[in-house]
Amino acid sequence: MLKQLTTDLTSFTKVANLPNRTLYGQKLVGHDSILTGGDVSWAVKRKVMIQFFAKTNLETLFIACKPQMEVQANRWKVLVGKGDNVNLHDQLAVTFSSYLHSLGLGKFMTPQTIAESVYKLLEAIPRQHLNRYSYAVSKEKEETVQLIKDMREEALKVVQERYEEMEKNSDEPIPCMDMLGYMIEANKNNGRIDRSLTDLLENVVCDILTVCLVWDNMVKQISALFMLLNEYPEIQEKMFAELRETPNETLKDLNSLVYTEMCILESLRMAPALLRGTRDFKTKANKRFGAYVMNSRAVKVTFSDYVMQHNPANWTNPKTFDPERWQPDFVPVAFSYMPFLAGARGCIAKHMAMMMMKLTLSVLAKNFNLEQQFDSKKMPEMSQNFAVMRINNNINCYVTPLTSSLS
């Protein structure tokens, strides 16, 4: 059944009315972005974007991001001085948002503003349902709607400028690190010839906001990693030793961070950023899928990555954080491990995400000591109330600069 849910695009489609599409009538990511779409035009657009996220382009993306990470390391040094407590999630959000600037996508806002805006939006999305009536008339709701309008307006200016540059220099290839250029190209060639230029540009804005929201998944994942490592100091020490001993000058260097990658893979299993997904059943009734028969087209099917990745039938000691399980010869049971989903809807940016997470950990480890300082009365814990993982309570770390930088 899981195979059909993730690979059969004819029978199962993404749910159209999910809460991140609009907030009180204000378009957020829309219904036709690189993540939310599902028709032929989406498939054509995805085919263009795959070129940007391909493993063959990772070296270029690494070269673009590495200098920005060094800038962020200096920002952290100013932030903590000789040593200070920081909210790890908040500072990682700024760091990862800075990568968007390296890839030509964050020029409409500073990394700090992107991080703060994304946090507000991600807090507002579930709140409109949990506190539906009180939130609908609240000042916070008005501020959130205005925030979306402002973000879309500023993003549209950048999109318009880049579109005009591309039209003026139509014979020039799109730079390999120019995500915005690829987004514009993808929307120009998605098979819809009846759209106006305004619609095209607005759809690129939807793609930008989609990426901004999804980008936060990397922030959540590294935050979750440190939440888990709090119970396993010996694993954290071993990971930091590898990070400090291994150079980070090339993509090949990052690929040699074997133990660090094992730790990330295990955190993706125990605390995946995407906890579950939902699909609409769209074909004729009485169709069989494995042991199940769908007797109505009005069916929504929900699957849980978290449950699958903690199933003792597929995982030894599933509640134990054990990076060693990810030996080179280890292959999980099919469809029991899907932190990046699978099939035609699998995450096309998964290789880039792994690269960025390892690069971030590498530069931080070479410049700082990080020691978890959690509030014993408000320990961080993962909330499973929503499709996207949330961590309740702060991931506080005491960050101290190393006496001599190893980077």
Question: pLDDT digits over 236-272, tens only?
Answer: 999 999 999 999 999 999 999 999 999 999 999 999 9
pLDDT above 80: residue 287? no
pLDDT digit string, tens, across residues 36-87: 666 667 788 888 999 999 999 999 999 999 999 999 999 999 999 999 999 9
Output DSSP code: residue 33.
S
Mean pLDDT (whole number) for 342-358: 90
Q: What is the pLDDT of residue 83?
A: 95
Q: Residue 232: how many CB atoms within 10 A of its CB? A: 17
pLDDT above 90: residue 93? yes
pLDDT above 70: residue 16? no
**SS3 assignment, position 288:** strand
Residue 277 bridge partners (DSSP):
303
Q: How confident is the model at residue 229 (pLDDT cuts 50, 70, 90)?
A: very high
Q: Provide long-range contacts, Cβ within 8 A and 24+ apart, for 285-292.
A: 287/11, 289/1, 289/4, 289/11, 290/1, 290/4, 291/1, 292/1
Q: Provide long-range contacts, Cβ within 8 A and 24+ apart, for 170-179.
A: 175/104, 176/52, 176/57, 176/60, 176/61, 177/60, 177/61, 177/63, 177/64, 177/102, 177/103, 177/104, 178/103, 178/104, 179/52, 179/103, 179/104, 179/105, 179/211
Of 195-209, 222-236, 349-363, the range with the lowest mean pLDDT is 195-209
Give 183 or 196, the one with higher predicted confidence. 183
Of 100-114, 231-245, 275-289, 378-392, the range with the lowest mean pLDDT is 275-289
Single-letter amino acid, residue 63: I
b/e burial code for range 238-277 (CB count within 10 A of at least 16 → b): ebbebbeebebeebeebeebebbbbbbbbbbbbbbbbbbb
Of 281-285, 303-307, 366-370, the range with the lowest mean pLDDT is 281-285
Q: What percent of the chain has pLDDT over 90?
A: 60
Between helix 350-367 and helix 58-80 the angle, nearest 10°, is: 40
Q: What is the mean pLDDT of the chain?
A: 88
Residue with tokens 């819809």: 192
pLDDT above 60: residue 276? yes
Task: Report which of 250, 277, 405, 289 is spatially closest to residue 340, judged by C-alpha positions.
Answer: 277
Give 41 or 142, the one with higher predicted confidence. 142
Single-letter amino acid, residue 310: H
Q: How confident is the model at residue 397 (pLDDT cuts 50, 70, 90)?
A: very high
Q: What is the pLDDT of residue 285?
A: 65
Rounded CA gap, 395 and 88, in Å? 5
For 395, half-sphere exposure in the C-beta direction (CA atoms, 13 angstrom radius) is 23
Those residues whose C-beta lies under 8 Å from the C-beta of residue 184, and which sit 6 or more positions away, are 159, 162, 163, 166, 204
**SS3 assignment, position 139:** helix
Give 78 or 134, the one with higher predicted confidence. 78
**SS3 assignment, position 23:** strand
Q: What is the pLDDT of residue 127?
A: 74
Give 260 or 6, the one with higher predicted confidence. 260
Of 92-96, 192-196, 262-266, the range with the lowest mean pLDDT is 192-196
Q: 223 with 104: CB under 8 angstroms? A: no
